[in-house]
Structure 1
């Protein structure tokens, strides 16, 4: 059953000051609110969502790394997700041209990061949002919806949010989880480094005759990757990258012609295919905020960073932001410190900034490398993929990175531990 968030009025300026207020009721905003409140039930956490109350209607699906599954389990949200989550058992990577009759496999990933623990799951976004909203309400997160923050001001130890309609809310910390075009980020005076790829990702769901057996496939084609990601039943989620003009042409096609174009890329390994959901195109680029924090203010998720989906890590990075910020804030409160103070927020920024820049640079290089159709470049990258495939320790390292478990500085929630 879909969860419907409560709708409450924005409190007047004279009301009690909230400890943390989060603007943006998407996945990252919800999990940030839940993580803080779950770890510190005494913290007053407010979630401000522009979306009207009602069932979530996001028909997309997302790849959730093993570290995120551990986090969601710790936060009490995974039980409501697990029945609709499809484990990714293995993955193959090919590199070819569209006209090629054979697509040689250059790289394979398989196995669990731990016994019985797949390195990732595919989860319908609406299912994940419902589960997080339900867990947030049970944890005592207060929701204001629908509501829009027009502006905010900072005066010493308090930020005051100004809502459309004239209501205000005072808070010790304002967290912007309002997406890649974050309005609050601009109001905070934080600039962004951007680059447009002149590509769009076509996202849709297909049904097929034969079972996928939990296998994900990434075909590198000259204009971008074509990813086939397993869903429950004989269905797969597609993330199909094309030049923007071509993507717009494809989206405008009637179903039969679109399915014909789709089959040229999908292949016949899983039998006949058919559309099983709407199709949408999303422009692609890279955006990195020049700072993640300001006085009484922090960025999380796409408001802080937007990257190419080539590695499937965009949403997982947002979860890591939420886990790191919650850990910094709760640790500060336990020491009797002001969690909204700039020196505390700088700890969060220093923790997340290098990882974010590194992932942004990696996906940018991969995208530029694999959209090049020059023969010599193709030979070099295919040799590189083949070498990785023949080095089990290196493959294991990449699997742990994809699972969100690489490196030593992993937030406690993403290790499955309490804050």
Structure 2
């Protein structure tokens, strides 16, 4: 193994410059920490995650990103989610949740990932204490001591070491940092592939987010801010290649059959992307002087659109704990602080994981005996305020101990 000399010291080194990693860098700069961020994408290019997919920001997420100065950087209009309509093909029940019934203007907002990436990039360029290593890749760990980690990275100049009091893994589902820390992850393949695209229908979005459930995953239409819908369509993995080969007309016909006519005829479809639906959950979210956030900690099935929202709350809780322990004067990798982070995130993480996985498994199961039970469940949900309130609180991001930034300042 090559000998690596640590040439630079940081309070925190974040590996990964995607949605959660970049948001964490902004939150840590806000409280005065010296942060290094290791990014695979070169300057002037966005990470691959910032594509044409549609992100559903919970209300708590919108509040936090407004406080961090990111929402004001968005150049494209966002789509307000004022209603959530849930149904399942072949079942008679349905549930409709209305934000106004809970004294809210909206449950959240739909943002195009590329626009969000550009907004984050604009905000990152304003930070005074952030050092960006890009393009660079994480190579491994090189010793360290009780007070620091040494992070090995490689870039155009060769291999170097970064010394950090806290290492944060924000490098996605297949996290190399998680592997280097020796943290195992449990995987469950739902055997579904998800198509993502922009879709135009005869009726423009009216604020309703539709979740139409089926045997092989959801067909969701999210109200974007540009008169289009954001589409997520699940298919069985062994059918994915056939569906991908369909021309636009045949693909729209397929979506029309799966979704129905609630927004009229589906008229046009943009470029399609495809992703596997695989749940990956780290068995631990901390190690000595290290923490996992976002998809490195847990990757959820997209049903319910909770993945980024949960990951952001991971990151903001970590930043909040560092701030309350002294901000720039705190030890961000203190074992007690990391243990408290696990405790603070436990309820939100467990409940969100359980809800996402439970919905994915139950709604995609076509066993005849489950159909009447699902129908009764949706029927009851539409008429039980207490059950609706529990679901709404989670959908809006208010589960467990929520970071202060997630609550709108009064």
TM over 0.5: yes
Question: How far apart are residue 118 of structure 1 and its match?
Answer: 0.8
Q: 1:86 aligns to what?
A: 79
Q: Aligned equivalents of 1:105 and 1:234: distance in 2?
A: 28
Q: 1:52 aligns to what?
A: 42
Q: 1:122 aligns to what?
A: 110
Alignment RMSD (CA, Å): 2.2
Match of 2:222 among 226, 229, 251: 229
Q: 1:173 to 1:388 in 2, by over 3 A?
A: same
Question: How far apart are residue 343 of structure 1 and its match?
Answer: 2.3
Tell whether the 8 Å contact from 1:182 to 1:303 is kept in structure 2 after alignment: yes
Aligned counterparts, 1:149-164, within 5 A: 149-156=138-145, 157-164=147-154
Q: 1:382 to 1:242 in 2, by over 3 A?
A: same
Q: 1:25 aligns to what?
A: 17
Q: Aligned equivalents of 1:335 and 1:137: distance in 2?
A: 20
Query: TM-score w.r.t. structure 2 length?
Result: 0.91
Query: What whole-Å deviation, never above 9, does each CA across 1:395-415 have from its counterpart, x for those lacking one?
Result: 1332122101244x1111111
Aligned counterparts, 1:29-44, within 5 A: 29-38=21-30, 40-41=31-32, 43-44=33-34
Q: Aligned equivalents of 2:183 and 2:101: distance in 1?
A: 38
Tell whether the 8 Å contact from 1:70 to 1:416 is kept in structure 2 after alignment: yes
Query: What whole-Å deviation, never above 9, does each CA across 1:237-278 have from its counterpart, x for those lacking one?
Result: 111112111122211223232222222223334333244422
Q: 1:362 to 1:268 in 2, by over 3 A?
A: closer
* Secondary structure of 2:195 counterpart: strand
Q: 2:213 aligns to what?
A: 220
* Secondary structure of 1:58 counterpart: coil
Question: How far apart are residue 96 of structure 1 and its match?
Answer: 1.9
* Secondary structure of 1:248 counterpart: helix
Q: 2:263 aligns to what?
A: 270
Q: 1:96 to 1:334 in 2, by over 3 A?
A: closer
Query: What whole-Å deviation, never above 9, does each CA across 1:286-313 have from its counterpart, x for those lacking one?
Result: 2111111111211000000011111110
* Secondary structure of 2:162 counterpart: strand
Q: 1:347 aligns to what?
A: 340
Q: 2:60 aligns to what?
A: 67
Match of 1:108 among 77, 81, 96: 96
Unaligned runs of 5+ in 2: none
Query: TM-score w.r.t. structure 1 length?
Result: 0.89
* Secondary structure of 1:195 counterpart: strand
Q: 1:274 to 1:48 in 2, by over 3 A?
A: farther
Q: Aligned equivalents of 1:328 and 1:82: distance in 2?
A: 32
1:251 aligns with 2:240: no
Question: How far apart are residue 113 of structure 1 and its match?
Answer: 7.9
Q: Aligned equivalents of 2:75 and 2:399: distance in 1?
A: 24
Q: Aligned equivalents of 2:254 and 2:328: distance in 1?
A: 59
Aligned counterparts, 1:330-345, within 5 A: 330-334=323-327, 336-345=329-338
Tell whether the 8 Å contact from 2:248 to 2:269 is kept in structure 1 after alignment: no
Q: Aligned equivalents of 1:233 and 1:136: distance in 2?
A: 26
Q: 1:8 aligns to what?
A: none
* Secondary structure of 1:52 counterpart: coil
Query: What whole-Å deviation, never above 9, does each CA across 1:3-34 have from its counterpart, x for those lacking one?
Result: xxxxxxxx97344x110111111010000111
* Secondary structure of 1:19 counterpart: strand
1:146 aligns with 2:138: no
Moved more, 76-85 or 55-64: 76-85
Moved more, 304-313 or 362-371: 362-371
Query: What whole-Å deviation, never above 9, does each CA across 1:202-243 have from its counterpart, x for those lacking one?
Result: 111111222121111111112221111111232111111121
Q: Aligned equivalents of 1:269 and 1:337: distance in 2?
A: 53
* Secondary structure of 1:284 counterpart: strand
* Secondary structure of 1:309 counterpart: coil
Q: Aligned equivalents of 1:277 and 1:131: distance in 2?
A: 23
Tell whether the 8 Å contact from 1:218 to 1:227 is kept in structure 2 after alignment: yes
Question: How far apart are residue 417 of structure 1 and its match?
Answer: 5.3
* Secondary structure of 1:138 counterpart: coil
Q: Aligned equivalents of 1:161 and 1:124: distance in 2?
A: 33
